[in-house]
Amino acid sequence: EVQLEESGGGLVQPGGSLRLSCAASGFAFSNHWMNWVRQAPGKGLEWVANIKYDGSETSYLDSVKGRFTISRDNAKNSLYLQMNSLRAEDTAVYYCARAALTGRGGDCWGQGTLVTVSS
Amino acid sequence: DIQMTQSPFSVSASVGDRVTITCRASQGINNWLNWYQQKPGKAPKLLTYAASSLQSGVPSRFSGSGSGTDFTLTISSLQPEDFATYYCQQGNSSPFTFGPGTKVDIK
């Protein structure tokens, strides 16, 4: 069964850091681009970052550039999001999503992990 | 950045109704348009990709169409399990923006 499971969310103070992880199973992780997408409470979906299947290319939402870093370890079937200098507006459920091999849609999603930035 | 808009913001419909949701991109996106369904407290689910291709396992009452900057998601006969929020997303260029969503609720 294809599965993605996020972890690492929690409560952090403004200016703090968190590292999110996404464990993949049931598919050839190293073949797929991967994404992080977030959803603030009661709001819509917002794409955050993606990374190429071999880790050689990354792309970010402007508001997180220089603060967030997406990475992956294909040997461990894992995706990461290092989040630094966190702000209240980063509060959201963070989902990892697999990019389909055709069509560029997110065809498999984790259950999400909640990040709350508050003092 | 490419901006995505959706209409309507919400729609009230009955079981069996035909429902159409539109999505407009601020510039051409080469038909790299995805539609998702999201239910409260759940992760999004991919319905269609590349404007008109149905994702495996998705019922055929869902269909996507359009080209250029204007796209449509149609539910041909609304079922009880289809009451949800629907989002479009462009996959043409970073940042891969989503539309604001359309909530489909029970009339």
Nearest CA in chain B to A62: B95
Percent of chain B with pLDDT over 90: 98
B36-83 pLDDT tens trace = 999 999 999 999 999 999 999 999 999 999 999 999 999 999 999 999
Task: Give the β-pairing of A58-60 and A45-51.
Answer: antiparallel
pLDDT at A103: 78
Least Cα distance to A93 among A7, A2, A3 occurs for A7
**DSSP E strands, chain A:** 3-7, 10-12, 18-25, 34-39, 45-51, 58-60, 68-73, 78-83, 92-99, 106-109, 113-117
Q: Are A45 and B89 in contact (CB < 8 Å)?
A: yes
User: Among residues 10-49 of chain B, which lie with CB inside 8 Å of chain A?
Assistant: 32, 34, 36, 38, 43-46, 48-49
Q: How far apart are the first and last CA of chain B?
A: 36
Residues 6 or more apart whose CB falls under 8 angstroms from that of B107 comprise B12, B13, B14, B17
List CB contacts (< 8 A) between A97 and chain B.
44
Band of residue B107 on the pLDDT scale cut at 50, 70, 90: confident
Q: Are A44 and B44 in contact (CB < 8 Å)?
A: no
Task: Count A/B contacts: CB-CB distance under 8 Å.
Answer: 72
A31-59 pLDDT tens trace = 999 999 999 999 999 999 999 999 999 99
Q: How many helices (H) and strands (E) does chain B have?
A: 0, 10
Which residue has tokens 């900057």? B69
Percent of chain B with pLDDT over 70: 100
Cα A119 versus chain centre, distance: 23
pLDDT at B106: 86
Nearest by CB: A105 against B55, B94, B101: B55
pLDDT at B91: 95
> What is the residue type of A77?
N
Nearest by CB: B44 against A45, A62, A102: A45
Selected residue of A3, A47, A63, A68 to mutate for chain B interface (largest B Cβ count, 10 A): A47
pLDDT at B100: 98
| CA within 13 Å, CB half, B93 | 9
B11-35 pLDDT tens trace = 999 999 999 999 999 999 999 999 9
Region A79-89: mean pLDDT is: 98
B83-101 pLDDT tens trace = 999 999 999 999 999 999 9
- Residue A17 to residue A28: CA distance in whole angstroms: 30
